A = this chain, B = another copy of it.
Amino acid sequence: MDQHARLEAEASLADRYAALRAGTERLAEPLSPEDQCVQSMPDASPAKWHRAHTTWFFETFVLKPHVEGYQGFDPDFAFLFNSYYLAAGPRHARPRRGMLTRPATARVTAYRQHVDQAMTALLAGPMSPEIATLVELGLRHEEQHQELLLTDALHLMAQNPLNPAMDPAWREATPPPAMLRWLDGPSGVVAVGHDGEGFAFDNEAPRHRVFLEPFAIADRPVSNAEWMEFVADGGYRTASLWMSEGWAQCEAEGWQAPEHWEPRDGAWLGFTPGGLGTLHPDAPVRHISWYEADAYARWAGCRLPTEQEWEVSSALPGFLAAEGHVWQWTGSAYRPYPGFRPWAGAVGEYNGKFMIGQMVLRGGSRATPPGHSRQTYRNFFPPGARWQFTGLRLAKDVA
């Protein structure tokens, strides 16, 4: 149990709720009402929507069913801010979230305060384990949306020819140079998945056995400097390195470097929440699709690790950047574990219905709230997604 987990375990749910909710507001604080309203693509949601949807989650799954006499804030919000829960009724179409100039940002703030008040009262007293579990889930859910709020807003800023900094206070990591070293991964019959202690999403369970053939895994993610070599070596022009459908997307969209990289006077700049700036050579590369990660690995004479290889290696000494730096694409498709059971009720739609067409990422990024991820955590995105803080770590077979 790391330090964050220990602190978290000791904190009351009430304290954690207050801290988490304030964190979301801090994230949105540098964004103007316009910044919070516009949707830059169907896959991204406006910041205002994230702030309202996470609030809707507590209202819908905790307050309405479990707090007698709770007065809903606005009956329209059930429709406006449901994301995809069929069991929770009809909802506003996802690609049209950006049309909601009303309710205004200020009204969403009032919504948050209304729900916070009711939640604070609830959390001040004793509560059943069932409610505590739902609150816990609501906290983890909002943590996920904190990262999405940031990446979606960054994508929006990137559409603006002025290259505005969404958060001028943002600072990128500046790690020291580190030679890549290979670690021997644990092989044979090993166990993966969550063991049931502490919170985990349903998709991390049950813990089960898999057999791993011998493999080696890099001790750290691929860096910006290494990626620049790939670019310079023609990686984006060499079809034989790519999956067929990845190459088709690369050509159709004219990829020449990771998303949010911009050429300037023969060098590459990176667009970050702090604006356009130099790319630190030793920081992990990010904003790459699975297709790019896979092509890079092939170019390097390696491959991506499977999610199981990643998980069992993540406790090895020398395994850097398990969390807090960059999400790492794996070679594993996002599918249920043997014995997987979705949670009961509407929250059973949380993860299970997306288990096709997506690839698993492990680790966690600078945009992930501290303590949110863990070694068994399964993040997932379609192979063409680039707007997240996504990078890669290399692996290879051992004869």
Interface residues of A (CB under 8 A from B): 32-38, 40, 48, 76, 79-80, 84, 86-87, 92, 96, 98-105, 156, 159-162, 164, 189, 208-213, 215, 239-240, 242-246, 290-291, 294, 303, 331-333, 335-336, 338-339, 349, 353-357, 359, 383, 397
- Can you name the residue of chain B whose Cβ is closest to the Cβ of A212? B338
A184 CB to nearest chain B CB (Å)? 15
- Can you name the residue of chain B whose Cβ is closest to the Cβ of A101? B34
Given contacts A32-B33, A189-B189, A38 and B98 within 8 Å (CB-CB) = yes
| Chain B residue contacts of A33, Cβ below 8 A | 32-34
| Chain B residue contacts of A397, Cβ below 8 A | 338-339
Given contacts A99-B160, A161-B79, A211 and B213 within 8 Å (CB-CB) = no
A351 CB to nearest chain B CB (Å)? 11
A99 CB to nearest chain B CB (Å)? 4
- Can you name the residue of chain B whose Cβ is closest to the Cβ of A99? B159
* B164–A189 CB distance below 8 A: no
| Chain B residue contacts of A303, Cβ below 8 A | 336
A161 CB to nearest chain B CB (Å)? 6
- Can you name the residue of chain B whose Cβ is closest to the Cβ of A359? B356
- Can you name the residue of chain B whose Cβ is closest to the Cβ of A100? B160
- Can you name the residue of chain B whose Cβ is closest to the Cβ of A103? B162
In the bound complex, CA of A357 to CA of B189 (Å): 28
In the bound complex, CA of A397 to CA of B336 (Å): 12
* B189–A34 CB distance below 8 A: no
In the bound complex, CA of A356 to CA of B247 (Å): 12
- Can you name the residue of chain B whose Cβ is closest to the Cβ of A332? B335
- Can you name the residue of chain B whose Cβ is closest to the Cβ of A246? B356
In the bound complex, CA of A101 to CA of B153 (Å): 11
Can you report 25 A-B residue pairs in the complex whose CB atoms are below 8 A from each other? A32-B101, A32-B102, A33-B33, A34-B36, A34-B37, A34-B48, A34-B105, A38-B101, A79-B161, A80-B161, A87-B240, A100-B160, A102-B160, A208-B213, A210-B210, A212-B338, A213-B338, A240-B349, A244-B353, A244-B354, A245-B356, A246-B356, A303-B336, A333-B333, A356-B359
